[in-house]
Amino acid sequence: MKEENRDTIKLCGWVENLRDLGKILFIKVRDDSGYYQVTIIREESSKIFEEAKKIKPESVISLNGIKRANKKVINGYEIIPQQIELMSEAEQPVPLNLNENVKSSLDKEIDYRFLSLRKPSVASIFKIQSTVSNAIVEFFQKNGFYQIHSSKIVSQATEGGANVFPVIYFDRTAYLAQSPQFYKQMMMSAGLEKVFEIGPVFRAEPHHTSRHLTEYTSVDIEMSFIKSYEDVMDIMEDMMIYLFKKVRKTNVRELKSTGASLKVPRKPFPRINMADAAKILEKYGNRPKDDGDIDPEGERILGEYVKERYGAEIFFLTEFPWTIAQFYHMRSKENPNITYRADMIYKGLEITTLAQREHRYDVLVKQLKEKGLDQEKFQFYLDFFRYGVPPHGGSGTGLERIVKQMLNLENVAEATLLPRTPDRLTP
């Protein structure tokens, strides 16, 4: 924290390091806005000099001083203190090296998240994430969406699978929500027409990869009276463009700190259907899985292909096979083996899944049975569709994955404040 005018400054922050040269003492102070050099000359301020040289790294201090021009330091001035107060002393040694030039392991940075966030490059990730999250709210409100907050304790897994976290709910078993999917569609039945939600979702998937978390922040939308899932793709294109512009304008300093540069994407994003994607991948020695899905390596290859051919970093994979679709996805009229589902891929990583939903009750029941699911367990959901529901579609996007790809981070946990993985439940 700092308060300053033309000649004086009040600064509160953390002492990153001290250099005692005998007759002169340099203190590097860090606060939320950056770094400052404090210079103390023994002959001019012997009492402050003697007190200051005892201060330990990462201690919190407050000082009042005079700004003196110095083109050699980062802000163009150094601070000559008239008073220094030790507000909180740091124990030694500090368990994490906070020098920006020293790279600690990701596990250690997360173990000491309360310290690693003191590094401007790490704090910048979450300042950018804050901009992205706020911009998402702005964007959807400007486009006539209502923000909702659905329950995260549910009676049935959204996708009918086993990858859910059970919780004890009085005298029965409930689950942490995998998605607000059913409740978004409830809003379409209720007539709200366009809704969005930003909130946590939970996946009990034992993955140990750089792209998976057991808890992440999902950006979900649902919209009524669509003509096709192209309408959902169109709004997602606009959202991404809005986010890029907002971050470029708001986070100049943070982008510089992370070393990332953002190129605002242009509409329309390229589209590649799954059949064509399979042909492209075969040329690179990669084949879809037995169920027709594309593995992470395939997404990476397609990302490079799209960048080389179209000069784009984001594209849509479309026309997913019914074999890997959810029971509530709408199937193609021309080819029932194909669904109106798409994934948005950013720099070779899937960040969004979207689809047009099946809104006809009888077809939903038929598809649910075809997927081998118990109708009784999903009847509360099916009831939404018994009294008139418009054609609708929506999407789910991983907030952390957006930031990871924006900043070229190696692991999605780097873009997660407090990551939850199969091996991590603290801090």
| 306-326 pLDDT, tens digit each | 999 999 999 999 999 999 999
Distance of CA 267 to the CA centre of its chain: 22
pLDDT in tens, 91-135: 999 999 999 888 899 999 999 999 999 999 999 999 999 999 999
| Average confidence (pLDDT) over 60-77 | 93
Task: Give the model's pLDDT for residue 416.
Answer: 98
| Average confidence (pLDDT) over 366-382 | 93
Checking if the pLDDT of 168 tops 70, the result is: yes
- Token match 């083996």: residue? 337
Q: Can you list the domains of the chain with their CATH numbers?
A: 2-88 (2.40.50.140), 115-415 (3.30.930.10)
- Token match 């950018």: residue? 128
- Token match 């030039």: residue? 101
Cα diameter, the chain: 89
Q: Is the pTM of this model over 0.85?
A: yes
| Average confidence (pLDDT) over 137-147 | 98
Among 41, 17, 29, residue whose Cα is nearest residue 75: 29
Confidence category of residue 288, pLDDT binned at 50, 70, 90: confident
| Average confidence (pLDDT) over 200-222 | 94
Task: Give the model's pLDDT for residue 159.
Answer: 61
Confidence category of residue 162, pLDDT binned at 50, 70, 90: low
- Token match 């994955």: residue? 401
39, β-bridge pairs = 26
pLDDT in tens, 331-345: 999 999 999 999 999
| Average confidence (pLDDT) over 275-288 | 92
